[in-house]
Amino acid sequence: MIGVRGNVAAIGSPGAGSGTGSVSIYEREGNAWVEKQTIMSEIDALPAVTGGEIRCGDDGKARMFDCKNAELVSFLPIHMITMANSARGTRLSGNWGWTHARSGREFALIGRSNGTSFVEVTDPKNPKFIGDLPLTPGANPSSWREVKVYKDHAYIVSDGAGRHGMQVFDLSQLLSARSAPVLFEPTTLYTRINSAHNIVINEETGYAFSTGGSSGGETCGGGLHMMNLKDPKNPEFVGCFAHTGTGRTGTGYTHDAQCVKYKGPDKQYNGREICLGANETALSIADVTDKKNPKVISQASYPKVGYTHQGWLTADQRYFYSNDELDETGGLVEMTRTLVWDLQDLDDPRLIKEFMGTTKASDHNLFVLGNTMYQSNYIAGLRIIDITKRGDPVEIGYFDTVPYSENTPGFSGTWSNYPFFKNGTVLVTSGGEGMFLIRKRPVPIL
């Protein structure tokens, strides 16, 4: 868009600054137009919270954030965990955590639309931005970036990013980083995939599985692209698995998965490597022990499927909690729905409960630690669910990361969480807000 008055012209660039826009001012000098300045708005961000834990008050607030039985340990807005030249218009997506075994130092690994941020959270009240790993040169910025960890290496993929590949990053570099923040480069780049929706790692077996492959490379029909991580810096492709007949196009597209060395109640599969896939239209269960000959075990659907998205097992591998990302936006359910599966018989998974939450917000990633389920439910923030009674979940707390919106269906707000730090803090990324560290308040369960 262009506006001209006399010898002055203004040219708007809506796509500049990762979509935040800019206006360039030109003046006529003789027969030429000369650019004089470019105007961009200031970054509009919530104020950082560091230096001391903010308790959830009797008014249900921690500063401006709604809460219940959850304390705000710290918060860093997006521009404080990115390089200055990449902060505008950046959004956050997936996250994971890394703890250095010898020193106990803890780090948050934060997916962004244009790269990955590394933040030390050893002192969770005073997180420190260590550095930035940009997206692969030539790849596209994307709303989706996911990261997992194996043997002190991070594995990073991005969906809808073109020829991005999987970045492999030696996390030990974070321990000796000087003059933070540092602009890092990947240790190696795995190029047998281009775009991928997620990366799944079974730390017990040393295998990685990218999901939702697209844009070329070995996509495996959008199913599991399987890699051996025996040399962590150099993943080796070992095979594909796609559960034909699942997924919206029937190719076996897997949106997300959890892969484990099985030790659950179904003795038939004891010691096998089992993957539970969220395959858009159904839950897929497969035996991938033999990477050259993976086998379907079963599949299961449920009422009013919108988009089978993601899920997580209990420690005993008996129960699996899963979410559906589009049932709320599609008007299929009235409140946030979590599906509870009994997997006593892997050949016959049984849906035993449709747990309805306390808001209408769309659900996204969830994780289970002990008797607690941590749900990232987009605009309703982090929801804390007691699952002591496996088939009868109870919401016991929450921390709303978006203080200025109603908890309606949609895709703003918290994308994911990581509840596995030994110090008890829960890492939460919220798309347009930033990085939160939350602590669950102990609550007696009657």
Tell me the two tokens of residue 314: 């209990």
Model pLDDT for residues 355-370, shown as the tens digit of each residue: 999 999 999 999 999 9
| Cα(296)–Cα(311) distance, integer angstroms | 18
Is there a domain that residue 285 lies in? yes
Is there a domain that residue 446 lies in? no
Domain match, 131 and 36 both:
no
CATH code, 70: 2.120.10.30
Bridge partners (DSSP) of residue 155 are 148, 168
Residues 329-358: what's their mean pLDDT?
98
Bridge partners (DSSP) of residue 201 are 208
% of the chain surpassing 70 pLDDT: 94
The DSSP output letter for 362 is P
**Full domain range(s) for residue 36:** 1-41
The per-residue pLDDT of the chain, averaged, comes to 94
Query: Taken in order 61, 62, 65, 66, is the CA torsion positive or negative?
Result: negative
Model pLDDT for residues 27-43, shown as the tens digit of each residue: 888 888 778 676 555 55
Number of residues assigned to the chain: 446
Q: What is the pLDDT of residue 320?
A: 98
The DSSP output letter for 280 is B
Is there a domain that residue 445 lies in? no
Is there a domain that residue 252 lies in? yes
Domain match, 17 and 96 both:
no
Domain match, 20 and 161 both:
no
Domain match, 222 and 288 both:
yes
pLDDT exceeds 90 at position 301: yes
Domain match, 108 and 29 both:
no
Domain match, 33 and 56 both:
no
Is there a domain that residue 222 lies in? yes
| Number of Cβ within a 10 Å radius of residue 113 | 23
Contact 381, 429 (CB under 8 A): no
Q: What values do phi and psi take at 88, rounded to 5?
A: -65, 130
pLDDT exceeds 90 at position 18: no
Domain match, 27 and 114 both:
no
Q: What is the pLDDT of residue 30?
A: 80
Question: How does residue 106 score in pLDDT terms, banded at 50, 70 and 90?
Answer: very high
Residues 6 or more apart from 5 whose CB is under 8 A from it?
A: none
Number of domains observed in the structure of the chain: 2
The model carries a pTM of 0.91
Domain match, 37 and 57 both:
no
Domain match, 429 and 314 both:
yes
Is there a domain that residue 9 lies in? yes
Q: What is the pLDDT of residue 2?
A: 83
Domain match, 33 and 135 both:
no
In what side-by-side order are the strands of the sheet with 22-29?
A: 2-5, 8-13, 22-29, 32-39
Is there a domain that residue 203 lies in? yes
Domain match, 19 and 114 both:
no
Q: What is the pLDDT of residue 36?
A: 66
Q: What is the pLDDT of residue 179?
A: 87
Report which residue type is found at 50: T
Q: Which has the higher per-residue pLDDT, 197 or 87?
A: 197
Domain match, 77 and 176 both:
yes
Is there a domain that residue 170 lies in? yes
| Cα(197)–Cα(214) distance, integer angstroms | 8
Tell me the two tokens of residue 105: 């130092």
